[in-house]
Every structure is written in C-alpha cells, then in structure tokens.
C-alpha cells in the first residue's frame, strides 16, 4: 500500500507504506522453506519517493523475530532514531508489536534500499528505495531513460535465516546459499532432482531504447559480477550519488552497495541475451565454497511480437563471458574507475583537505577465549575488538570504549601465508580479541579520515564497510599494507572521489575514506558481509551535538519501542489505528 498525500505547507509529499512482516512458505529447488518477508513478497515492496519527501512506514511485526528496519543510505539528519539499529538507536519491534518510522529524504537522489537490521534476516526482509529528482526526470544528469528497472541481486537460502544467527557465533563455515537471485528469481542454472527448472528474471526491451537499471546487492555474503551478453553499461550513480558516466561491460557490486547504470538496447533484436550475476570468491577455500549464480534473460520486443511464442526455432540466447571466479581485479578496477559527478556543483560538497581525526583500523579474525583458552570462539574483529552490543535495557547505549588510533598489534597484515583456513601458530598469536562495546566520539564538524586495512587472516576476504548516517568520500584504495609514506598523497584522489555509504575494502588491501562528522547522533559502522557483522565486525561512531539548535540531536520520539515489557503499541491497537 502506498499513498502519496500532498502536504499543505510544501511541495513535498508524505509517502506512506504499511509493512507487515510475517513468515510465508516459499518453494524453490523442490523444497519449501519458511521465509520472513514484508507483505508476502521477496524482494519486498519498493519505496519510491521524490527528493524532499517525508516517509512514514508502519511496521507491523507478525514474525516470531525481533525486527528493525534500516533505511540503508538515507542520511537521517538529526534523526538517528529512525535509523533502525537494534540496541543502538532503538529497542527492536518485538513480535506482535508495531512501530512507525518517520523520516525525510533530502539532498540525495538515485537508488538506495531498505532491509531488516536483525541477525541474518536482511537476506529476505529487503527492498528498493528509489529517490527521483524533485524537478522531474528531465533533471537527471544523463539522457532521460525510457524505463527504470530495479534489479535486486539476492540469495536464496534453504533455511530460516532468523535461526542462523545462533549458530554463527562459533563458526560461519558451512552456511551457504543455494542460489543467487535477480528480483527473487533463481534462474535456469539452478535445478533439483525433481527436474523442475527454476524460472529466471526476464527483462523485455525495445530496440534502440534506453533503460536505467537500478542495481542493489541485498545478498548476505558475496560481491557479484553482473553482465548482460552483447551489451555495455554506463554507470551514472552509486549509493545514491551521481558519478561521471563510466562505460563498462561488467558491474561489480558488493553487499550493501547500489549502482545505477544506463543500458541502451542496441544489440541484434532477433536474439535474446543472458544476464548473469555471479558471486566472486577471493580465495580458493577448502572445502570449496559452492558457485553461487543466477541467470536471467534480456529479450527484445518486436512490433506485434508475442514474446511467449518467441519459439523453438529461435537461436539460443547469447551468454556473457564472466570474469574468473577468483579474479578480484574487475572489482578493484570497477571501484577505482568511479569518480564523483557533482563535487563542484552548487549543491555538491568538497573533500576535506585537512583532517582533524585520523584512524587506521584493521579488519581481522579474532578469537575470544574463555577458561584460560579452553573454549574459543572465532569471529570478526575491528582492531582486535569484537563488538558486543551491550544492551542494558535502556536506550540508546552511551558507553563506548574508544578505538585505538592505530592497530594495537601491527603485523604483516596481507601476508599470504595467513590465507589458508585454520589458525597457524603465528596466526593464533594474532587472534586473541577482547569483547568490547567500542565506539569513537567526534566533535561536531570534525573532518575524519579512516583507513580500513584488511588482513589475510580472514582468508583474504573483502569487507564492504557501511557507515550509517553519512556518505564518505572514498579517496583511495590499494593492495598490500597501507603505507602513509608511500601512499599519501600519491594514491589519493582529493578532487573527484566517489561519494558512497559503503566502501569496499579490497581483498588483501586497504581503502581510505574521508567524511565530515556533521550529523549528531549514534551511527553504526560495520561490515555488510552479514556473517562478519554477526560475529563482531562492527563499531559505533558518535557525533557530538553542535552549538546551535539546528546542530543538536533532538530527543527520541515518545513512541520509540521500549526494551522492557509493557510499552510500544500492541498489534491490536495498531490495527485499529489503521482501520
Ligand atoms: C502473536 O499473536 C498471535 C495471535 O494472537 C499469537 O498466536 C502468538 O503466539 C503471538 N506471538 C508472540 C511471540 O507473542
Ligand atoms: C528533515 O528532518 C530533519 C529531522 O527531523 C529536520 O531537521 C529537517 O529540517 C528536515 N528537512 C526538511 C527539508 O524538511
Ligand atoms: C541440472 O542442471 C545441470 C546443469 O545445467 C544439468 O546437467 C542437469 O542435468 C540438471 N538436472 C536436472 C535434474 O534437471
Ligand atoms: C579502470 O579500469 C581499467 C580496466 O578496465 C584499468 O586498467 C584501470 O587501471 C582502472 N583505473 C583505476 C583508477 O582503477
Ligand atoms: C609481507 O608478506 C608478503 C608476502 O605475502 C611479502 O611479500 C612482504 O615482503 C612482507 N612484508 C614485510 C614488511 O615483511
Ligand atoms: C557492559 O556494560 C556493563 C555495565 O555498564 C559493564 O560493566 C560491562 O563491562 C560492559 N561489557 C562490555 C563487554 O563492554
Ligand atoms: C527481543 O528484544 C527484547 C528487547 O526489546 C529482548 O529483551 C529480547 O531478548 C529479544 N529477543 C530476542 C530473541 O533476541
């Protein structure tokens, strides 16, 4: 349900949705699985707004799980209360309770998305969040598309994702998706013993027309390479920030990222073309990680054509030539080739030339041991701290242990000797980790630089780091260990770096971001590789209030859920409200 009501005082509208979260049975690959979804759909409903609109989403939780919804990439200026992070900005919406998220969307355009921020449920509770320019499609900084097409890349898990979390605390090996999906379709590369071939996503186009593809990676664990045989893309935006047009035949999209790309239907119309989304794998694992892939079709519509009858005599579709499964360079180049379009624009921003706060943080594997080392749990860590959200029942949490400015235990971070699974003796010495509720405080207006350094002890995984409430200038990336003397300013782009809410820290490498802490509040910073955050690769950035009313965080809304019992609107009251 989407109602757009004009508001008296402004041209902006209130875009209103009701999200009923519940469990439904869905059958794929010859097996029915209980899936937690919004309004019975996977992916869930797309929210479509015009820049400047207000949004009200009534979340009615009919699932057995605690629920929060995060509006991924929406800046939530002075409004972290609507950011949807359990035990950090709100207590969760408990089963049989409801809550209405209210926020506005300003100074952002293009594609974002929304998802559950609880355990692994983002894998099935997610959808597109599309922001169109206030002055209409003619104000797009690219040719007006004939049609806009959201493409949500996801994964099909034959397991109740709400249950995985508990098992993850000890090890996240052995949990694999059964297939990749495009807009919920698994595609014909996936089948089961019943011989039933899975339906693939079909995009029908008219020859010569221009399409805006709005890609979202809503997968739990993998970056995807996306290609369409016989076609090129012109990338025009990433994470709801316009980029200078970049033409490529492959899109690399990591969990949490979005990419807007134009596609001109300029191939021979007689023949269909396959589109493929393939999860890449940074290293060869033992046991091998299954290939996760989905295939759809791009089909040309001709006048008077009945696509269903396209027929047995039609030549088989062309398939794209995909990058190698373990080849990380297409991703490194894709990310390295994006530059910002509008930094010089009157409404654009400029990259901070001077930095007030500088952090170098390692993303690593840690173990937290009990009983003098007898029982250890291995998980993700930031600077040898594995975050625990220390919910006391009161909200929001306020006490954080600061992150060290530099890694407390430096080593050759990207030494390939660490890659094989299972701790070597040298590796074991690097892993001991404390559990802590880490967080970093910034004065209002501070210019911050963070260099994220990946380490080889995580089997050379990449880490898409997502900062809530802010966009970041991604000023540099590199392979190996970051070396300020060598890399600054040689590898830095302080002129037109891409502006993103998620920075992909490359496999066996590092990435540097700058941002201005100008949004007072409490903001989660975490890896969007869901299994990494589930085991602790997260921290919190807290921006202090500024000196004026317009730069201070207002108190939370009175109806924010409470952690103890007895508060929040009960479902019955909510449903009466809606009648
Ligand atoms: C939610 O309400 C339904 C219907 O009243 C009830 O069957 C169910 O047990 C409730 N769930 C929880 C977790 O309280
Ligand atoms: C958006 O919401 C924030 C927080 O409620 C408010 O400070 C800001 O003025 C609003 N912006 C617009 C354009 O309405
Ligand atoms: C499943 O797909 C594979 C590869 O496409 C094919 O070789 C196999 O015959 C299919 N199995 C069934 C039962 O359709
Ligand atoms: C851009 O991509 C090309 C290959 O497609 C690569 O050679 C080049 O190094 C990339 N540029 C950057 C800055 O990453
Ligand atoms: C770090 O390890 C790599 C091998 O993986 C090696 O090439 C490099 O020289 C090492 N660096 C230092 C400073 O030891
Ligand atoms: C959690 O909070 C309590 C009370 O503030 C504190 O004693 C404890 O050390 C905290 N635990 C962690 C892991 O931060
Ligand atoms: C759900 O959230 C409440 C706080 O509102 C918490 O007490 C409870 O433990 C949570 N339940 C689960 C299953 O996490």
Residues 441 and 479 in one domain: yes
| H or E element at residue 163 | helix 161-168
Over the Cα atoms of the chain, what is R_g? 23
Residues 159 and 260 in one domain: yes
Instruction: With respect to residue 576, please indicate whether it lies within any of the assigned structural domains.
Output: no
Tell me, using a 6 A CB cutoff, whether residue 352 lines ligand 1: no
Residues 176 and 325 in one domain: yes
The pLDDT assigned to 191 comes to: 83
Task: Compute the distance between CA of residue 73 and CA of residue 49 in angstroms, rounded to an integer.
Answer: 14
From 283, 410, 413, 415, give the residue whose CB has the most ligand 5 atoms within 8 Å, as the site to mutate.
415
Residues 82 and 146 in one domain: no
Instruction: With respect to residue 556, please indicate whether it lies within any of the assigned structural domains.
Output: no
* Cβ atoms of residues 238 and 260 within 8 Å: yes
Residues 9 and 118 in one domain: yes
Whole-angstrom CA distances from 390 to 92, 312, 435 are 14, 61, 10
From 28, 30, 179, 191, give the residue whose CB has the most ligand 3 atoms within 8 Å, as the site to mutate.
191
Nearest CA to ligand 5 atom 4: 415
Instruction: Calculate how far, in angstroms, residue 96's C-alpha sits from the geometric centre of ligand 1.
Output: 6
Q: Encode burial over 201-234: b for 16+ CB neighbours within 10 A, e otherwise.
A: bebebeeeebbbbbbbbbbbbbbbbbbbbbbbbb
Residues 18 and 107 in one domain: yes
Q: Which domain holds residue 35?
A: 1-139
Instruction: With respect to residue 514, please indicate whether it lies within any of the assigned structural domains.
Output: yes
Residues 101 and 172 in one domain: no
Tell me the three state secondary structure of residue 376: strand
Residues 319 and 421 in one domain: no
Task: Compute the distance between CA of residue 327 and CA of residue 344 in angstroms, rounded to an integer.
Answer: 35
Which of residues 315, 347, 379 is at a domain's end?
347
Mean pLDDT, consecutive 10-residue segments, the chain of 579 residues? Answer: 43 93 96 97 98 97 97 97 92 96 96 94 97 93 97 95 72 79 96 85 98 98 97 98 97 98 96 97 81 97 61 83 97 98 68 93 68 53 53 46 73 82 67 69 95 84 95 97 95 96 96 97 92 80 93 93 62 38
Task: Compute the distance between CA of residue 554 and CA of residue 13 in angstroms, rounded to an integer.
Answer: 23
Which of residues 347, 367, 392 is at a domain's end?
347
The pLDDT assigned to 536 comes to: 75
Instruction: With respect to residue 133, please indicate whether it lies within any of the assigned structural domains.
Output: yes
Per-residue pLDDT reduced to its tens digit, 369-427: 554 545 555 555 555 555 554 443 334 455 667 777 777 777 888 888 877 766 667 77
The pLDDT assigned to 455 comes to: 86
> Pairing between strand 509-517 and 472-479?
antiparallel
Instruction: With respect to residue 144, please indicate whether it lies within any of the assigned structural domains.
Output: yes
The pLDDT assigned to 5 comes to: 47
Tell me, using a 6 A CB cutoff, whether residue 393 lines ligand 6: no
Per-residue pLDDT reduced to its tens digit, 200-258: 999 999 999 999 999 999 999 999 999 999 999 999 999 999 999 999 999 999 999 99
Task: Compute the distance between CA of residue 167 and CA of residue 171 in angstroms, rounded to an integer.
Answer: 7
Instruction: Calculate how far, in angstroms, residue 322's C-alpha sits from the geometric centre of ligand 4.
Output: 18
Q: Give the phi and the psi of residue 487 in degrees, each rounded to 5.
A: -95, -20
- Please tell me the pTM assigned to this model: 0.91
Tell me, using a 6 A CB cutoff, whether residue 87 lines ligand 2: no
Instruction: With respect to residue 72, please indicate whether it lies within any of the assigned structural domains.
Output: yes
Beta bridge partners of 549: none
Closest by CA to 13, choosing from 47, 62, 44, 59, is 47
Residues 409 and 527 in one domain: yes
Return the residue matching tokens 């309004």: 39
Instruction: With respect to residue 566, please indicate whether it lies within any of the assigned structural domains.
Output: no
Domain count, the chain: 3
Relative to the CA of 435, which ligand 6 atom is closest? Answer: 13
Give the CATH number, domain containing residue 113: 2.60.40.420
Which of residues 285, 315, 347 is at a domain's end?
347
The encoded tokens of residue 51 equal 């820049």
Residues 133 and 154 in one domain: no
| H or E element at residue 500 | strand 499-500
From 67, 93, 96, give the residue whose CB has the most ligand 1 atoms within 8 Å, as the site to mutate.
96
Residues 428 and 485 in one domain: yes
Q: In sequence order, what are the residues at sequence separation of 6 or more whose Cβ sits closer than 8 angstroms to the Cβ of residue 489?
A: none
Instruction: Calculate how far, in angstroms, residue 479's C-alpha sits from the geometric centre of ligand 4.
Output: 14
* Cβ atoms of residues 336 and 510 within 8 Å: no
Tell me, using a 6 A CB cutoff, whether residue 195 lines ligand 3: yes
Task: Compute the distance between CA of residue 197 and CA of residue 199 in angstroms, rounded to an integer.
Answer: 6
Relative to the CA of 388, which ligand 6 atom is closest? Answer: 13
Residues 166 and 110 in one domain: no
Closest by CA to 437, choosing from 551, 540, 292, is 540
Instruction: With respect to residue 189, please indicate whether it lies within any of the assigned structural domains.
Output: yes
């Amino acid at each position: 349900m989407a109602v757009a009501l004009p508001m008296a005082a402004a041209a902006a509208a209130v875009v209103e949705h009701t999200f009923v979260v519940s469990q439904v049975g869905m059958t794929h690959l010859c097996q029915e699985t209980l899936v937690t979804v919004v309004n019975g759909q996977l992916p869930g409903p797309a929210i479509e707004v015009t820049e400047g609109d207000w949004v009200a989403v009534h979340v009615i939780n009919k699932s057995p799980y605690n629920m929060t919804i995060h509006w991924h990439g929406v800046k939530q200026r002075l409004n972290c209360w609507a950011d949807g992070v359990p035990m950090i900005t709100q207590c969760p919406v408990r089963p049989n309770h409801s809550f209405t998220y209210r926020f506005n969307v300003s100074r952002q355009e293009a594609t974002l998305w929304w998802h559950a921020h609880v355990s692994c449920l983002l894998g099935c509770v997610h959808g597109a969040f599309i922001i169109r320019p206030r002055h209409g499609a003619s104000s797009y900084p690219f040719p007006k598309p004939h049609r806009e097409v959201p493409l949500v890349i996801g994964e099909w898990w034959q397991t109740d994702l709400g249950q995985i979390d508990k098992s993850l605390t000890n090890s996240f090996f052995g949990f694999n998706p059964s297939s990749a999906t495009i807009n919920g379709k698994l595609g014909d590369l996936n089948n089961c013993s019943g011989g039933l071939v899975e339906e693939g996503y079909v995009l029908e186009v008219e020859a010569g027309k221009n399409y805006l593809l709005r890609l979202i990676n809503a997968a739990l664990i993998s970056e995807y390479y996306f290609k369409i045989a016989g076609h090129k893309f012109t990338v025009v935006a990433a994470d709801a920030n316009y980029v200078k047009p970049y033409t490529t035949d492959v899109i690399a999209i990591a969990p949490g990222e979005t990419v807007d790309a134009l596609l001109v239907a300029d191939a021979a119309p007689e023949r269909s073309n396959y589109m493929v989304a393939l999860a890449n794998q940074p290293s060869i694992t033992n046991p091998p990680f299954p290939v996760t892939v989905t295939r759809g079709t791009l089909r040309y519509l001709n006048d008077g054509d009945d696509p269903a009858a396209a027929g047995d005599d039609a030549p088989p579709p062309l398939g794209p030539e995909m990058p190698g499964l373990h080849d990380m360079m297409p991703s490194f180049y894709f990310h390295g080739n994006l530059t910002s379009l509008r930094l010089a624009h009157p409404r654009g921003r400029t990259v901070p030339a001077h930095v007030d706060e500088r952090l170098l943080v390692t993303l690593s594997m840690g173990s937290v041991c009990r009983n003098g080392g007898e029982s250890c749990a291995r998980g993700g860590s930031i600077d040898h701290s594995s975050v625990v959200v220390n919910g006391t029942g009161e909200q929001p949490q306020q006490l954080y242990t600061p992150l060290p400015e530099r890694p407390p235990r430096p080593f050759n971070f990207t030494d390939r000797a660490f890659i094989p699974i299972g701790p070597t003796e040298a590796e074991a010495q690097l892993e001991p980790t404390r559990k802590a509720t880490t967080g970093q405080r910034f004065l209002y207006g501070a210019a911050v630089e963070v260099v994220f350094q990946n380490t080889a002890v995580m089997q050379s995984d990449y880490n898409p780091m997502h900062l809530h409430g802010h966009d970041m200038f991604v000023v540099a990336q590199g392979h190996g260990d970051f070396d300020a003397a060598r890399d600054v300013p040689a590898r830095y782009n302080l002129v037109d770096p891409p502006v993103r809410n998620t920075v992909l820290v490359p496999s066996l490498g590092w990435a540097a971001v700058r941002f201005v802490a100008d949004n007072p509040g409490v903001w989660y910073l975490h890896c969007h590789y869901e299994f990494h955050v589930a085991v602790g690769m997260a921290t919190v950035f807290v921006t202090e209030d500024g000196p004026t009313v317009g730069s201070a965080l207002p108190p939370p809304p009175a109806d924010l859920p409470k952690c103890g019992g007895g508060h929040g609107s009960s479902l019955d009251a909510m449903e009466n409200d809606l009648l």
